[in-house]
Amino acid sequence: MGIIEQASSYAAQIDNLILIVGAFVMFWFVLAQGIIFYFLFRYRKKRQPKAEYITGEKHSETKFIHWAHWGVIACDLVIIFFAIKAWYHVKQELPTADTTIKIVGQQWAWEFTHPGPDNILDTEDDIVTIDELHIEVGKVHHYKLSSKDVLHDFSVPVFRLKQDAVPGRVITGWFKPIKTGEFDIQCAEMCGIGHGIMAAKLYINSKEDHAKWLESPNLKYTLYQEPKEEVEQ
């Protein structure tokens, strides 16, 4: 959480969920270890030479186990609440898009289709890049994710985003970058011998810098063509 930057609007929410899980785990670990060492010293042979057999049938003998049991369940309910809240926000809510991009995974590269200066996808000024995603800070981006061949996983650590790319499906998701910079994109699904080199770069630019990138003379627009209808034979 302090090692990897938070570059999306929901990154902090996911990090906080992980911190809650970590805090509960640490609490129960320290408590359990403390009780074990207390018993080791409190009931060591030198001070308590005779052992006592307990059947565990009396409530007074099992109450501490029950208290711990209900305590763990209470912690689980807290974790489930925040986990569902984060999952619903990231996976179910779909804010109105400021722009939409296409992402295609293939062995072993990422293909990104950006809307051109008209900010409309599937028009003549679309910009296609390989292993480079250029987006504008502060805007809600929808993505249309697909795969040409096998399962891939679009992973952006600074966004806390991981989404499988499934052949034959187009999956819609979103993110809103909150800081500028250059970051890593990974494939987080074992997709073949070149999986380890299937990396890309994410460039989050200010409004002015993104506009300059769109107007760069080095960019080549791709002519959008309507997909041909498949004829059954």
What pLDDT is attached to residue 233?
35
pLDDT in tens, 149-186: 899 999 999 999 999 999 999 999 999 999 999 999 99
Task: Report the 3 state secondary structure along the chain.
Answer: CCCCCCCECCHHHHHHHHHHHHHHHHHHHHHHHHHHHHHHHHCCCCCCCCCCCCCCCCHHHHHHHHHHHHHHHHHHHHHHHHHHHHHHHHHHCCCCCCEEEEEEEECCEEEEEECCCCCCCCCCCCEEEECEEEEECCCCEEEEEEECCCCEEEEEHHHCEEEEECECCCEEEEECECCCEEEEEEECCCCCCCHHHCEEEEEEECHHHHHHHHCCCCCCECCCCCCCCCCCC
State the pTM of this model.
0.76
- Considering the four listed CATH numbers 2.60.40.420, 3.50.50.60, 1.10.3720.10, 3.40.630.30, the one that applies to the domain covering 99-214 is 2.60.40.420
Looking at 39-43, 126-130, 187-191, which range is the least confident one? 39-43
The better pLDDT of the pair 11, 230 is held by 11
What residue ranges of the chain are covered by domains with CATH 2.60.40.420? 99-214
The better pLDDT of the pair 102, 116 is held by 102
What pLDDT is attached to residue 112?
94
Confidence of residue 219 (pLDDT cuts 50, 70, 90): low
Is residue 230 scored above 50 in pLDDT?
Answer: no
